[in-house]
Amino acid sequence: MRVGVIGCGSIGKIHIRNLKRIGAEVVAACDIDEKELKYVKSEFGVEHLYTDYHDLIARSDLDAVVVATPNYLHHEMTVNALKEGKHVLCEKPPAITARQVKEMYEASRKYGRALLIGLTMRFRADSRALKEYVEKVGIGKSYYAKAGILRRAGIPGYGSWFTRKAEAGAGPLYDIGVHALDLTLWLMNDFEAEEAYASTYAKFGPKGKGLGDWGKPVPGGPFEVEDLAVAFIKMKSGATVYLEVSWASHVREGIIYVNVLGEEGGLEFPGAKVYCGEGGVTVGERLRYREGGPYIGG
């Protein structure tokens, strides 16, 4: 497979490295920063370099394109790549608004090309083990789930697009919350929400605290998004989902978790643990699975 990568920042480089590991040919890359282009050429041997993504997606020799740019660019770049007949792997979140996401999906159907969003937690070995258990054994009807990703100090790229409302859309809710929520709904096999009550807070970012080491900071840049978000979601099925995500918070240590409760059993992530009752006794089991990273399927 011949692939082009749009966006050669931190996550773009990860995509290039992993694509090459599985034998894909990364033949072209695009970024507005020519220093990044020089790096991917020297480090990964990518020969064809562009500063305008239109030139990359117009190449007739590409099978697929990776969109690894700031959030506000995902919609336009993905739709145009699909129009050019390319399969697309787009980083999360897929777009800023629900309407944009729908248009991306419709473009995929219209032009007959695959569209995959980079929700990598579905591809972790323990996630897949839990999903297989749900499909083959089952936990009955899911009625409650809670999920969260809490960081102590992980605000990315302070002052850059990460913390600009118009370019990011949101803070940790869009950046990492999408992972926790997607995995939860996927394990529940329940994707239709009826209503939600949510709150957001910015207690660290405006003070320049809670900074992480991901992304390139821009000195003097704004902090216009939340650093913590919580939501209580009522599904059309009657199930309830609680979600909490933060870039920065006063917790003992960073955590990630998903718990799903069903009428016949419960799921715990990470670690692929299943709990059920037999004769009034709670039984716990850790599913067996082969360890592996979420970025390369196996």
3-state secondary structure at position 171: coil
pLDDT of amino acid 298? 40
Residue 14: per-residue pLDDT: 97
Per-residue confidence (pLDDT) for residue 288, from 0 to 100: 74
Q: What DSSP string runs through 69-138? A: S-GGGHHHHHHHHHHTT-EEEEPSS--SSHHHHHHHHHHHHHHT--EEE--GGGGSHHHHHHHHHHHHT-
Which token pair is 150?
């809490």
Question: What SS3 class is residue 41?
Answer: helix
Domain 122-286 has CATH 3.50.50.60: no
Average pLDDT for the chain: 95
Predicted confidence at residue 281, as pLDDT, reads 45
Percent of the chain with pLDDT over 90: 92
DSSP 8-state class, residue 14: H
> What's the rounded Cα separation, in Å, for the pair 267 and 276?
9
Q: Are strands 87-90 and 64-67 parallel, antiparallel or unpaired?
A: parallel
- Where does the chain hold its CATH 3.30.360.10 domain(s)? 122-286
Q: Which amino acid, one-letter code, is at 41? A: K
Instruction: Specify the CATH class of 2-118 in words.
Output: alpha beta
Say what the pLDDT of residue 293 is: 62
Q: Is the pLDDT of residue 24 over 90?
A: yes
Phi–psi pair at 24, nearest 5 degrees: -75, 150
